[in-house]
Amino acid sequence: MNAARRVAVLKGGGSLERTVSLRSGARVEHALERLGHEVIALDAGPELIARLRECDPDVAFVALHGRDGEDGTVQGLLELIGVPYTGSGPAACMRSTDKALAKYLMRDAGIPTPAFTAFKESAVRDLGVAAALEDIERTLAFPLVVKPASQGSALGVKFARSRDELPGAIVGALSYDRKIVIERYVKGRDLAVSVLACPREADARNAAAEPLAMPVVEAIPREEEFYNYESRYEIGMTTFVCPAELPAKTAELAQQIALQTYRLLGCHGVARVDLMLDSHTDELSVLETNVVPGLTETSLLPLAADAAGIDFDELIARILESADTVR
């Protein structure tokens, strides 16, 4: 079914997730080779466009995480130079990667997401947002999570338990992005639902791929303490269970919400939606969506796909096909 193709694997880049991206990319390359494709590995840097022109691939496999690779920049450039690519288009990347935009879209569409506000550094500097800290306290209530709006490193995620800690948390998060989201902290279980396009094998060309929700993964942090919030995002501080031990109804609802989110943001091919299950109310809410989920040995998407009976090569084959279907 697959003709051999020239595939450029885009990886690395200059984001805080460079190392993970290099590992994702290396694994993708091996899988593509096993699938019989010709693989060109490209570390995204100042030579990227020139290298792409030079090697003239049939398709680009985007294995870049974080800045540039996941925020629509690379996708837009690939469209500009006419190279088909895997995964979501520029608009969906921008909607997903900008957590502030994604949360406003979800709120307006009725998809549950923790109460929040969002603003840029200029709001602090030029618009006197300081005078609204009381309103933040009143409407969101402590403890609060302050995070850079664009996806990035765990380092930027700050926790504020009280009014005193809020300014430092805001300035800290603003170090990683010009825009931040301040979100009510939801105590509960960390869940992730990966969504994968399921090509109709008969007429895959130009047919909208139907998205499929993978089994729910639960991330169990090794520490529960508030002050250690950052460590929940640290490598090695979390173990994962898939399928998550959840009531069938809850798991199904999580998958349904993930699919709604995927569609709302206009994702294509693949995405991972991270959710919280509130331990008090048992309600699900969406934290964020990753349009280029990690593909390393220890990433969540391959784990979920495996639990669904899709091995890694098949997963890569499916993502590769997303380059050919209409976004």
Partner 1 sequence: MAVGVRYLAGMRGRDDSRRARPTAHELARYESLFAARTRGMKSSAMREMMALTERPEVISLAGGLPDTSTFAPELYAQLMAKVAAESTARALQYGPTEGMAATVACVVEVMAAEGTHVDPAEVIVTTGGQQVIDLVCKALIDPGDVIVAEAPTYPGAVPTFTAYQADVEQIEIDSDGMPIDALEQTLDRLQEQGRRPKFIYTIPNFQNPGGVTMSLARRRRLVEVARERELLVLEDNPYGLLRYEGEPLPTLHALGAQSASGPGRSGASDLVIYLGTFSKILAPGLRLGWAVAPRPVLEKLNLGKQGADLCSSPVTQTFVAAYFAERDARGQPAWVGYVQRLKDLYRTRRDTMLEALQEHLGGRAGWTTPAGGLFVWATLDGGIDTTDLLARSEGVAFVPGRAAYVDGRSGSSSMRLNFAGVTDENIREGVRRIGRTMGGDTGLLGTLSATASSPAPASAPSEPAATSAAPSSPAPASAPSEPAATSAAPSSPAPANAPSPAGDAPEPLADVVALPRRDAPDPARPVRRRRDR
Residues numbered 86 to 145 that lie near partner 1 (CB under 8 A) are 121, 124-131, 133
Rounded Cα–Cα distance for residues 244 and 191 (Å): 8
Q: Distances from the Cα of 215 to the Cαs of 221, 284, 288, 301, in angstroms?
A: 19, 16, 17, 10
DSSP 138-158: HHH-SSEEEEESB---GGG-E
The nearer residue to partner 1, 36 or 227, going by C-beta atoms, is: 227
Query: At its nearest, how many Å lie between partner 1 and the CB of residue 122?
Result: 10
From 267, 270, 266, 273, select the one nearest 289 (Cα to Cα). 273
- The answer to whether the CB of 68 falls within 8 A of the CB of 74 is yes
Catalytic residue among 290, 318, 321, 322: 290
Contact code string over 259-278 relative to partner 1, x by CB under 8 A? xx--xx--------------
The nearer residue to partner 1, 165 or 278, going by C-beta atoms, is: 165
The reply to whether 224 belongs to the active site is no
The reply to whether 200 belongs to the active site is no
- Residue 256 contacts partner 1 per CB under 8 A: yes
Of 29-48, which residues contact partner 1 (CB under 8 A)?
A: 31, 34
Q: What angle do CA 162, 223, 227 make, to 5 degrees?
A: 20
- The answer to whether the CB of 225 falls within 8 A of the CB of 149 is no
The reply to whether 17 belongs to the active site is yes
Which of 5, 95, 158, 189 binds partner 1 (CB under 8 A)? It is: 158
Catalytic residue among 38, 51, 153, 230: 153
**What are the tokens at 271?**
């995405």
Reading phi first (left if > 0) and then psi (alpha if -120 to 50, else beta), residue 319 is in alpha
Of 55-74, which residues contact partner 1 (CB under 8 A)?
A: 65
The reply to whether 274 belongs to the active site is yes
The nearer residue to partner 1, 7 or 259, going by C-beta atoms, is: 259
**What are the tokens at 10?**
């885009």
Rounded Cα–Cα distance for residues 144 and 68 (Å): 28
Q: How many residues bind partner 1 (CB under 8 A)?
A: 88
Catalytic residue among 68, 190, 274, 321: 274
What's the chain's Rg over C-alpha atoms?
20
Which of 6, 14, 77, 104 binds partner 1 (CB under 8 A)? It is: 14
- Residue 153 contacts partner 1 per CB under 8 A: yes
Contact code string over 184-223 relative to partner 1, x by CB under 8 A? --------------x-----------x-xxxx---xx-xx
